[in-house]
Every structure is written in structure tokens, then in C-alpha cells.
Amino acid sequence: MKNSKILIAVFFIVLIAASAMLWSCEKTEGEVLGTGKTSFKLEITDVSGDAKTYTVKTDEKTVGDALVKVGLAPSDSKDSGMISTLNDITPNWDVDQSFWAFYVNGEKYTDGGVFDVEVVKGDTYAFKVETFVWDEGAAE
């Protein structure tokens, strides 16, 4: 009887420990980049619509700094305040008016640059190559 109580107690301790470990694990999507304490989801969509998803772990304050730190953006990006190359893809504004559009949780971000956006745990950031379409009627 005493042995069965001990076995039951040990079983519950193991069950609680396993549950705590599973609960503390963060859900990751795609390749995991970085080693920091805060993680976010990053989606990169190229000009042909092919998308790659990453989980970025960082201790950097801004999304731009995190992307430079994990090697997705060149280190000189911060000098210009914008990311022109991402994941070795460089849209060409001069040829086809394409650029990286930046999204925060599905909404196009227009309030500043990627180096202005602070990392928020669990948020989703996305970059999509988009082409600017001139609205000829807007100038009239």
C-alpha cells in the first residue's frame, strides 16, 4: 500500500514536470534563427510569391536590429534606416518599382521604418516584395 502511494506521488510529480516543460516551450515555425529571449514570427515573400517563415529569437530592441543580428539583412541597413536587401533578395525600384513592404501582424506598416519598430514577443512581422502602381488619376 505504501509503495503504491509513493508510485502515485512520483507519477504526478513527473506529470506536472512534463506539463510545465511543454507549457514553457514556445511554438516555432520554420527555421529558428538567433538565440535571444524574445521570439517572433517572420514571413518573407519574394517577387514570385514564394514565402519563407522563420522564428527569430533575439535580445535586440527593434525588428531591424534583430534581422541584421541573425544575418537576414546586411549590417549597413541601419545606416540608411531601411532594408533594401533581405534574405539575399534585393527588389529593384529603378527597374520595376519593386520594394520591400513591411507588415506588422498583417497590417502594412507606414509609421516609420523597420528600425523604429520594437520587437514584441509573439508578434508576426512580414516583408513582401511589392510593386508600386502609379495612380495617374490621383495627380489630377
CA dist., res. 121 & res. 58, Å (int): 10
Provide the CATH number for the domain around residue 95.
Answer: 2.170.130.30
The count of structural domains within the chain is: 1
Confidence (pLDDT) at 129: 95
Model confidence band, residue 116 (pLDDT cutoffs 50, 70, 90): very high
CA dist., res. 69 & res. 48, Å (int): 26
**Is 122 within a domain?**
yes
**Is 1 within a domain?**
no
Q: What is the pTM of this model?
A: 0.73
Which structural domain range is residue 77 located in?
Answer: 31-134
